[in-house]
Amino acid sequence: MINVTQTFLPPIEEFEKILKSAWDKKRVTNRGELLLDLENKLSKYLGITNFFITTNGTLPIQIALKALGITKEVITTPFSYVATTSAIIWENCTPVFVDIEREMLTIDPLKIEAAITENTEAILATHVFGNPCDIDAIEVIAKKHNLKVIYDGAHCFAVKYKGKSIFSYGDIITTSFHATKLFHTGEGGAVFIPNETLYNKCYYHHNFGHNGPLDYHGLGINAKASEMQAAVGLSVLPYIDKIIDKRKMLTEHYETLLQDNLNLELFSFRASTERNYSYMPVILKSEEHLEKVLKHLELLEIFPRRYFYPSLNKLPYLVTSVSMPISEDISKRILCLPLFYELEKAEVTIICNIINSL
């Protein structure tokens, strides 16, 4: 069986050796030595400071909205994982959808200004499949209208844009360290905040508002990661370059074998982007053709996945429904093919031969 992804796990002995220090000290949470060590190593790897690790990748979005004081309308993308929209609604804000660019799949900055009202307070955009949004255009719009910018960078570990970490752009940037991600801590995530004052505010928010053991800086929740999660991350991180290199090779093999297939389109990346090869999306000519491809692959126990379906403007719990033609069209036709470290080149060939035969 070949699933769309498979969690990378190093030899268990390496994980156990790291975790033993927490076991010996009987400290398994509350920002212990392992978590601090992981944050230090990630800071060096990513070339970025002012961030902290969280217990998942959704709470950072909620913390971002809270820390920025967002209570009204948030312009966002309909083409993302459901957490992007649900976090907005969970924080009692109103998502205002803006359609995506057909080639890049990220929010279309040319359509953002038309969606701005007197109640608009922020833009929450997703770097889809590790492809950066039009950061420069969004920054201009945000400054013009005095809006905050939050980026959902769940897919973006190790991505660089114009030579800098993608986590450097925006007021607050979130990411996921879920088990399906390139780098993971089992469950987990992180929040990046370039501004020092805002960083401190977000930090207190993620730890019940604690300012030392007996004082409170303000309102907070519990988003802390555990020492067990940190131990997973510390055991995975030494392999990250090897993981990226393998995925790059597999991606390039996919692209070579599928490039002449007239029944699908390959994904375009924004200029000046250093990719991380986190996903292998293809856009089929129709939803009917997608279903046909799925059926033939599943007969051989090969299971790609429909990221992202449905388009988020079609979620059943939204108060109002709006039309997002491009997102709705793409979401019906896009399929992410299997891509993970232990996948073999020969298996990619089999997958492509099936797709090309249909």
According to the model, what pLDDT value does residue 216 have? 82
Tokens encoding 61: 């979005």
Q: Which amino acid belongs to residue 99? A: D
Between helices 59-67 and 196-205, what is the axis angle to 10°? 120
Q: Which amino acid belongs to residue 112? A: I
User: In this structure, are residues 318 and 82 in contact, taking their beta carbons and an 8 Å threshold?
Assistant: no
According to the model, what pLDDT value does residue 3 have? 98
According to the model, what pLDDT value does residue 215 have? 80
Hey, what CATH topology would domain 7-238 get?
Aspartate Aminotransferase; domain 2 (3.40.640)
State how far the Cα of 329 lies from the Cα of 266, in Å rounded to an integer. Answer: 15
Note down pLDDT in tens along the chain; length 358 residues. 999 999 999 999 999 999 999 999 999 999 999 999 999 999 999 999 999 999 999 999 999 999 999 999 999 999 999 999 999 999 999 999 999 999 999 999 999 999 999 999 999 999 999 999 999 999 999 999 999 999 999 999 999 999 999 999 999 999 999 999 999 999 999 999 999 999 999 999 999 998 877 788 888 999 999 999 999 999 999 999 999 999 999 999 999 999 999 999 998 899 999 999 999 999 999 999 999 999 999 999 999 999 999 999 999 999 888 999 999 999 999 999 999 999 999 999 999 999 999 9
According to the model, what pLDDT value does residue 67 have? 97
According to the model, what pLDDT value does residue 321 have? 83
The answer for residues whose C-beta is within 8 angstroms of residue 318's C-beta and 6 or more apart is: 95
| Domain 240-356 homologous superfamily, CATH | Aspartate Aminotransferase, domain 1 (3.90.1150.10)
According to the model, what pLDDT value does residue 350 have? 98
- The gap between the terminal CA atoms of the chain, to the nearest Å, is 21
Within this chain, domains 7-238 and 240-356 share the same CATH topology:
no
According to the model, what pLDDT value does residue 218 have? 85
Secondary structure string (H, E, C) spanning 70-115: CCCEEEECCCCCHHHHHHHHHCCCEEEECCECCCCCCECHHHHHHH
State how far the Cα of 240 lies from the Cα of 256, in Å rounded to an integer. Answer: 24
The answer for residues whose C-beta is within 8 angstroms of residue 194's C-beta and 6 or more apart is: 50, 168, 170, 171
Q: Per-domain residue ranges for the chain? A: 7-238, 240-356
Between helices 227-236 and 12-25, what is the axis angle to 10°? 150
State how far the Cα of 123 lies from the Cα of 146, in Å rounded to an integer. Answer: 11
DSSP letters along 147-171, please? -EEEEE-TT-TT-EETTEEGGGSSS
